[in-house]
């Protein structure tokens, strides 16, 4: 056989060579591992992006609601009615309200009893309301603004004129009621005068005799600081917020 014939046969054998089954299986396994790693990375990145976006949205919603409530409470000259106040009797599933009176337009008269159409359009007696047991998700997850000052428990937050304009995605809402009347800080003496200590303090801040456990009897008139607690939830993410508000214009 000539050298040329041998070379032709060798080239023909090489052209007929292919991959073995083992090589195909190994290559497939490598590609599967790399694909799984890439997919895991993409899923993790998407979840992280969604969580970051959710936390941002919850932060903004909580910030807007707390800022609005704090701004209006600072202008209040009185807290007029409270439902489901903090303390041993507080219920996380009960309807919670706080009513205030303010002179928002600075005309020298506070409350909806003032004359003028400005009060009709911009009420000066308002109530914040939260109902975790409301029949619909929108009602349960909203903080409501009611354009009147309450004197009794409403049937729900979704009452006449009310708007769910403060916040959505609310999971919990609670307010602590405090006072600067440190003379009554004795149960325990911890530097914080609660409304319950006022209630037990006797006249003029509490009742004569035994305390009645009702903030609205006398104690509410001596409350001059509120600590607002709000929990926001969304996409299985929950975050808690709180802020203290002092009543600067209390009469």
Walk along the chain (251 residues) in steps of 10 and give the mean pLDDT of each run: 55 59 77 80 73 80 88 92 95 96 87 76 90 92 93 92 84 94 89 93 84 91 94 86 88 63
| In-domain check, residue 42 | no
| In-domain check, residue 13 | no
CA 114 to chain CA centroid, nearest Å:
33
Helical ranges in the chain per DSSP H: 3-16, 21-74, 117-121, 137-140, 195-199
State how many domains the chain has. 1
In order, the DSSP letters of 225-238 are EEEEEEEEEETTEE
| In-domain check, residue 109 | yes
**pLDDT for position 225:** 94
**Domain range for residue 59?**
51-180+224-246
Residue 35 token pair: 């694909």
Whether residue 72 has a cis bond before it, omega within 30° of 0: no
| In-domain check, residue 215 | no
**pLDDT for position 28:** 78
Residue 75 · residue 107 · CB < 8 Å: no
CA 212 to chain CA centroid, nearest Å:
31
């Amino acid at each position: 056989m000539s050298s040329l014939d041998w070379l032709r046969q060798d080239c023909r054998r090489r052209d007929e060579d292919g991959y073995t089954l083992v090589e195909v299986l190994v290559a497939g396994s490598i590609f599967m591992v790399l694909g799984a790693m890439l997919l895991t990375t993409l899923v993790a990145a998407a979840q992280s992006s969604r969580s970051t976006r959710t936390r941002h949205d919850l932060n903004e919603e909580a910030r807007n609601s707390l800022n609005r409530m704090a701004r209006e409470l600072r202008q209040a000259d009185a807290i007029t009615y409270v439902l489901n106040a903090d303390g041993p009797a507080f219920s996380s599933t009960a309807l919670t309200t706080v009513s205030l009176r303010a002179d928002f337009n600075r005309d020298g008269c506070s409350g909806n009893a003032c004359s003028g159409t400005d009060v009709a359009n911009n009420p000066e007696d308002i109530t914040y309301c939260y109902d975790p047991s409301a029949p619909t998700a929108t009602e349960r997850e909203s903080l409501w603004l009611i354009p009147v000052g309450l004197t009794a428990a409403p049937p729900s937050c979704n009452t006449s004129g009310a708007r769910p304009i403060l916040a959505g995605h609310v999971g919990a809402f609670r307010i602590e009621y405090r006072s600067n009347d440190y003379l009554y800080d004795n149960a325990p003496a911890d530097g914080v005068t609660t409304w319950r200590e006022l209630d037990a303090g006797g006249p003029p801040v509490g009742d004569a005799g035994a305390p009645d456990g009702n903030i609205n009897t006398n104690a509410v008139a001596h409350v001059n600081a509120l600590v607002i607690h709000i929990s926001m939830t969304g996409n299985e993410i929950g975050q808690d917020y709180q802020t203290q508000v002092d009543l600067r214009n209390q009469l």
